[in-house]
Amino acid sequence: MSLPAPDWPDKVRERLAAAARWRRQEVPADGAVPSGVHGTHRAAVANHLAHRNAELSRRVTLETCPLARVELTGDPNRVFHVFPGDRSLEVVATLSNRLKRRLIAAGAVIVIVVVLIVRLVA
């Protein structure tokens, strides 16, 4: 079973794959969602755990890792993703959407200015 991929930045996904401490939870034979699964994910997991026709047996293990997205008011240009690692908490800093939009807008303005200068000179 695989749920839809979250829209985390690639940098965060790579660190989660490499350094996160994933918790393994065995699903009981009755297919009940383990208590450690967060409420927002329960419905999606429960749909995948529904018994199918002619199913004889199954073994399901869920791997979970809590992930916090932290935005500091003192640093509005970065977003921090925090999760448990092997020895301590891992922190991955990424650019905020606000800063990305500003950089894209600045790049667009530069392109427009260059095009205008080229047209005026030509």
Here the tokens at position 82 are 């925090």
Specify the pLDDT at position 2: 58
Q: How confident is the model at residue 8 (pLDDT cuts 50, 70, 90)?
A: confident
pLDDT of residue 83: 92
- Give me the pLDDT at residue 119, please: 94
**DSSP codes, 30-53:** T-PPPTTS-HHHHHHHHHHHSPPT
Instruction: Name the average pLDDT for the chain.
Output: 85
**For 82, left (φ over 0), alpha (ψ -120 to 50), or beta?**
beta
Residue 20: strand pairing partners: 85
Q: What is the mean pLDDT of residues 59-73?
A: 87
Q: Domain extents for the chain? A: 23-64
> How confident is the model at residue 122, as a pLDDT?
79
